Chains A and B, each alone.
Chain A
């Protein structure tokens, strides 16, 4: 369980996360949605101890993330941020293998190698495994980063806009994979998504943020209404039910 209690964060005078209290239960897929600048990335990074909160606490399975030794957390929780600029020149397999660092500390065992090959296969990277990161397209690089995060094999997986740069096929495959990880392996997956329809189709729960606050939280059916969505995003939505899923259109 991830418990976020009264977390606030300001940059200068701007409160980008404003007293957020939120509980994310163990197991299941939660999507965080909201307009640009709502504070989603900041909140996710605070939850994963990458950014310190000004006030408030976050605990994962009862461990305060600000106090728990980082390497202990790294075996429990993995995060991939939204923008990743890696200047180090690694090939894809080596990068993914560093996902095992919390477990192997750089001395990979045969088991670690199995995890690496599996993560490569999940992200359809077999053919690219020996390429350097700077020789990949943006979407291929994003898949490599996701594979690295998957390879960490943590109970909690936090991904900030993982669908960035992915083509439709790889996007859908990733969502299906995460869905299976949540259902079959009991993983707790938290995603920031900009596409509400992806959120609606694959999540157990959707949390909507605006101006640093959580404004809505509920099942896709509860959250995906025209009024809710236009309230969060500030534009007009129509919501349809297609094949049992709530699908929003926003072109009218």
Chain B
């Protein structure tokens, strides 16, 4: 298992390396090593390629781990920040900042967005309490509807304040604009992802349900609150920097769960590596498919995602029945 994980990390590192040297401007490894690379190539590497690659890794692992946390806490395979209204709520928070306190530093913006994201999740939990759930698929359906409602409000307000352009810019995961100085907040997401790993057992126990968790002496509500707060903050950091790529938080956790189960102490590293690898790969595809143009990674995932998701729903469905 350890060996396999090491191999997976290695494979992801290779993807990351490729990501550093693929793009419109030529940056060649041999030139860099020989010290003959042009200053311009060096600048592209340091100011654009490295930030982009690092952002892909941090956002990919963070969003995948968020998906797992949400799925364990809500005991539903089909929720993640993008199907629970969390992302839309975070964006709504961003809009509020843009309107009422545009001068805030990025960290403060992120915290406001996180507070809104948490509130959005909380509203979903309240709604779910009122609805008798006959099938697990109903949960993300309600989440998506909640997200749509928040999104409608967001667009309406943005239109009123003439901010539609800025709002649309955060709609989809796009890493082509990641530059030095604009992505560093993702390190906060990374720190929180590590924190989630430290508390992994709590989330696994919470995933057994309230009765089991209480019997084992876990403070269920506190574990839930901790998990959802982590999710809200990671989601917010991703929303304020690069935008959330849909489906990432569904595909990777479900795939890991199908193969390796849900003992998070063991599987979270896989989820994190898988998220980073998938996002790196999709970003590369987006960059290579029609050069010199780029397809945003969110669009690439938007094509692969639904297919993979459908496949997973069918597999899961067969298992449950």
Q: Is A98 an interface residue (CB 8 A)?
A: yes
Instruction: Say whether A90 contacts B262, CB under 8 Å.
Output: yes
Which of B202, B207, B263 is within 8 Å of A87, CB to CB?
A: B207
Contacts of A106 in B (CB 8 A): 200-202, 265
Mark out the residues of chain A between 77 and 93 whose CB falls within 8 Å of any chain B CB in the assembled complex. Answer: 78-81, 84-91
Selecting from B33-41, B104-112, B210-218, B284-292, the interface stretch reads B210-218
Instruction: Say whether B209 contacts A101, CB under 8 Å.
Output: no
A152 to B209, CA, bound (A): 17
For the side of the interface on B, what is the size category?
20 to 34
Instruction: Say whether A94 contacts B75, CB under 8 Å.
Output: no
Contacts of B202 in A (CB 8 A): 106
Instruction: Say whether B217 contacts A88, CB under 8 Å.
Output: no
Instruction: Say whether B263 contacts A74, CB under 8 Å.
Output: no
- Nearest to A77 among chain B residues (CB) is B215
Instruction: Say whether A88 contacts B216, CB under 8 Å.
Output: no
Q: Is B257 an interface residue (CB 8 A)?
A: yes
Contacts of A149 in B (CB 8 A): 215
Instruction: Say whether A94 contacts B261, CB under 8 Å.
Output: yes
Say whether, besides A50-B211, A85-B209, A88-B204, A94 and B216 are in contact (CB < 8 Å).
Answer: no
Instruction: Say whether B217 contacts A73, CB under 8 Å.
Output: yes
As a 0/1 sequence over residues 226 to 263 of chain B, the CB contacts with chain A under 8 angstroms (1 = contact) are 00000000000000000000000000000001100111
As a 0/1 sequence over residues 92 to 107 of chain A, the CB contacts with chain B under 8 angstroms (1 = contact) are 0010001101100110
Secondary structure type dominating chain B contacts: helix
Mark out the residues of chain B between 294 and 320 whose CB falls within 8 Å of any chain A CB in the assembled complex. Answer: 319-320
A75 to B216, CA, bound (A): 8
Smallest CB separation, B57 vs chain A (Å)? 26
Contacts of B201 in A (CB 8 A): 98, 101, 105-106
A134 to B218, CA, bound (A): 24
Instruction: Say whether A88 contacts B207, CB under 8 Å.
Output: yes
Q: Is B72 an interface residue (CB 8 A)?
A: yes
Smallest CB separation, A156 vs chain B (Å)? 12
Contacts of A134 in B (CB 8 A): 319-320
Q: Is B205 an interface residue (CB 8 A)?
A: yes
Mark out the residues of chain B between 175 and 225 whose CB falls within 8 Å of any chain A CB in the assembled complex. Answer: 200-202, 204-205, 207-212, 214-219
Contacts of A74 in B (CB 8 A): 215-217
Which of B205, B214, B319 is within 8 Å of A98, CB to CB?
A: B205
A236 to B202, CA, bound (A): 50
A98 to B212, CA, bound (A): 10
Q: Is A132 an interface residue (CB 8 A)?
A: yes
- Nearest to B259 among chain A residues (CB) is A89
Contacts of A101 in B (CB 8 A): 201, 205, 216-218
Instruction: Say whether A70 contacts B212, CB under 8 Å.
Output: no
Say whether, besides A71-B218, A102-B217, A84 and B262 are in contact (CB < 8 Å).
Answer: no
A56 to B81, CA, bound (A): 42
Smallest CB separation, A181 vs chain B (Å)? 18
Q: Is A72 an interface residue (CB 8 A)?
A: yes
A69 to B175, CA, bound (A): 47
Contacts of A80 in B (CB 8 A): 215
Contacts of B91 in A (CB 8 A): none
Q: Is B52 an interface residue (CB 8 A)?
A: no
Contacts of B205 in A (CB 8 A): 98, 101
Smallest CB separation, A109 vs chain B (Å)? 14
Q: Is A147 an interface residue (CB 8 A)?
A: no
Instruction: Say whether B215 contacts A88, CB under 8 Å.
Output: no
Say whether, besides A86-B208, A87-B75, A87-B77, A132 and B261 are in contact (CB < 8 Å).
Answer: yes
Instruction: Say whether B216 contacts A72, CB under 8 Å.
Output: no
Which of A45, A89, A102 is within 8 Å of B216, CB to CB?
A: A102
Mark out the residues of chain A between 123 and 139 whose CB falls within 8 Å of any chain B CB in the assembled complex. Answer: 132, 134
- Nearest to A85 among chain B residues (CB) is B209
A37 to B275, CA, bound (A): 48
Instruction: Say whether B72 contacts A88, CB under 8 Å.
Output: yes
Q: Is A33 an interface residue (CB 8 A)?
A: no
Smallest CB separation, B310 vs chain A (Å)? 20
A74 to B263, CA, bound (A): 21
Instruction: Say whether B212 contacts A86, CB under 8 Å.
Output: yes
Contacts of A102 in B (CB 8 A): 216-217
- Nearest to A148 among chain B residues (CB) is B212
- Nearest to B74 among chain A residues (CB) is A87
A79 to B217, CA, bound (A): 11
Residues of chain A having any CB pair with chain B under 8 Å: 45, 48-50, 69-75, 78-81, 84-91, 94, 98-99, 101-102, 105-106, 132, 134, 149, 152
Residues of chain B having any CB pair with chain A under 8 Å: 72, 75-77, 200-202, 204-205, 207-212, 214-219, 257-258, 261-263, 265, 319-320
13 residue pairs from A and B, CB less than 8 Å apart: A48-B215, A50-B210, A50-B214, A72-B217, A86-B208, A87-B207, A88-B207, A90-B263, A91-B263, A101-B201, A101-B216, A102-B216, A105-B201
Top 8 A-B pairs, shortest CB-CB distance: A74-B217, A106-B201, A71-B217, A88-B207, A88-B262, A102-B217, A101-B216, A89-B262
